[in-house]
A and B are shown apart, each in its own frame.
Chain A
Amino acid sequence: MGGVKFEQAMARLEAIVGELEKGDLPLDESLRIFEEGIRLSKSCLKILEDAERKVEVLVQDKNGKKRLHAFSPDDQADDPTS
């Protein structure tokens, strides 16, 4: 799931910044995690920017079939529970 990936990526990125800012890694190791950090940053930004707003309604009909349809104000009017 994107959310988990994002969360892990952010956590890793935080750890990387912490490591880099502590500054006690050898240069090649620093460069390695720096590159990893930049990759993570890019993929996080992509996750943030690629998403689009979507509101859906999930229902199961009498036959047990699941249906997912876009939510619209009409749903509220149609709501059998109202």
Chain B
Amino acid sequence: MPAKTLQTASGSARQVLTVSELTSLVRTSIESTFPDLWLEGEISNLRMPGSGHVYCTLKDESSQIRAVLFRSNALRVRFTLQEGMQVIVRGRLTVYEPRGEYQIVLDAVEPKGIGALQLAFEQLKERLAAEGLFDQSRKKPLPAFPRTVGVVTSLTGAAIRDILTVLQRRWPTLHIIIAPVQVQGAGAGRQIADALSLLNEQGAVEVIIVGRGGGSQEDLWCFNEEVVARAIAGSRTPVVSAVGHEIDVTLADFAADYRAPTPSAAAEMVIPVFEEVRERLLDLTTRTGQAMVRHCLFEYQRIDSCNRGLAYIRFRIQEESQRTDEMTDRLQTMVQLRLAAARDLVRDGQRELTGLNPILMVKQGLAMMPQVMKRLERQMAVFINHQQRRVEAAIAQLNNLSPLAILGRGYSILSRARDGTILRRAEDVQTGEEIVARLSHGQLSCTVKRALPDPSV
């Protein structure tokens, strides 16, 4: 070790170092002492600037050390370093001279506990899931009857043989387009992604199978690559993934619209059995015809029953019309009878009225006049005659009663001369009074000599 004895001011041989010299000395010393070591610790203060280098601190309960992972080595780490992650690293110690800090330069980083691949898988899965790449809502339905099927796999693997066999067995006239790719090794992921875009661009296929046969986790790794997962999720054409065996689950499976456990199963999933489809089509056709015939028959029966109903209605109409006729007849008869009666009444009335015609009556009266007059004259003559006789008789009777007639029989009437008063009693005259005695012929003027009243009175 270089002398770094610090001597007192009184010392003669003192050697003074600059900071750079010292740091350089320390660096040389550290680098030669710790050229290659394994270290376990927890990542903290993780920084990943644009340069691509990764800086962090590795620590345990009581100590810490700065660590740097340069870009070239960082690219080889498949998983993403995270704060708080327990890692085992391999590297060498050095000193970062500008700050005089010693640090470990990392060559490799591995997660502690699980394998690096597994961790990378989990991390990418989590990230893509968070992005929504695996969301159920993104999944496209498979076409029920694809006529053209795309296959992305290797032309040499067992997968293509299985897929072709199953597809052609199920649908002998299927159109298949294979986009050949490497399915393992560096660059395989890129090829798979490109093949998917190629099939999408070409536009003929209606569904795509992407996959390969079984292999180790390393073999299947390309199906875990981000570029593959994104290409599958981004495919306009529905994608069925079929990677390895049932137990192998890759990110391609998560991104695909459907996951098949094996390539053969994928082929079964995408294409129905031709014969079954044909059978179904024929069955539907038959049923269409049968249903139509049934419907026609039903309609025929309906028409028939309507006809029968109509016949009954026709019968009823006839019946009713007959009754109507009959009633009309009766009505007519009745009306005519009533009419005749009324007409008679009117005629009578008219006749009556004619009889009462005043002009006629006057005429008739006038016509009767001469006859009436004659009768009247005749009756008048009779009447007059009769009256004449009655008058003559009366006169005769009157003659008998007349005082003159009595006088004729010798009686006379005495009256006072002075006033003509008829004398009935002796007292009515005074002695010496002049009286007149009327005789049947002529009269006598007399003088009362003595009035002798009747002693009996």
Query: What is the interface of chain A, defined by CB distance below 8 A to chain B?
Result: 1-4, 6-7, 10, 13-14, 16-17, 20-21, 23, 25, 27, 30-31, 34, 37-38, 41, 44-45, 47-48, 51-60, 66, 68, 71, 75-76, 79, 81-82
Q: For the complex, is B103 an interface residue (Cβ under 8 Å from A)?
A: no
**C-alpha spacing A82/B185, complex, angstroms:** 11
Q: Smallest CB–CB gap between B197 and chain A, Å?
A: 9
Partner of B202, one of A41, A48, A66: A66
User: Among A3, A17, A44, A71, which residue has its beta carbon within 8 angstroms of that of B146?
Assistant: A3
- Sample 13 A-B pairs with CB under 8 A, ordered by A number: A1-B147, A1-B206, A25-B295, A27-B299, A31-B292, A37-B285, A48-B277, A57-B155, A59-B180, A60-B198, A75-B180, A79-B155, A79-B180
* Contact of A34 with B177 in the complex, beta carbons under 8 Å: no
- Assess the B178–A58 pair: CB atoms within 8 A: yes
- Report the minimal beta-carbon distance from A13 to chain B, rounded to whole angstroms: 5
Residues of chain A with a CB closer than 8 A to B201's CB:
66
Which residues of B lie under 8 Å from residue A71 when comparing CB positions? 176, 178
Q: In the complex the two chains form, is B155's CB within 8 Å of A17's CB? A: no
Closest Cβ of chain A to B291, distance in Å, is: 3
**Which range holds the interface residue count of chain B?**
35 or more
Are A7 and B143 also in contact (CB < 8 A) when A30-B292, A51-B174, A51-B175 are?
yes
Given contacts A38-B288, A58-B198, A58-B202, contact A81 B281 (CB under 8 A): no
Q: Which of A47, A60, A79 contacts B194 (CB 8 A)?
A: A60
Instruction: Let me know if B291 and A68 touch, CB within 8 A.
Output: no
Q: Is B399 an interface residue (CB 8 A)?
A: no
Expressed in whole angstroms, the minimum distance between the Cβ of B294 and any Cβ of chain A is 7
Q: Which residues of the partner chain B approach A1 to less than 8 Å between Cβ atoms? A: 147-148, 206
* Residues of chain B with a CB closer than 8 A to A37's CB: 284-285, 288
> Which residues between 45 and 78 of chain B lie within 8 Å of chain A, taking CB atoms?
none
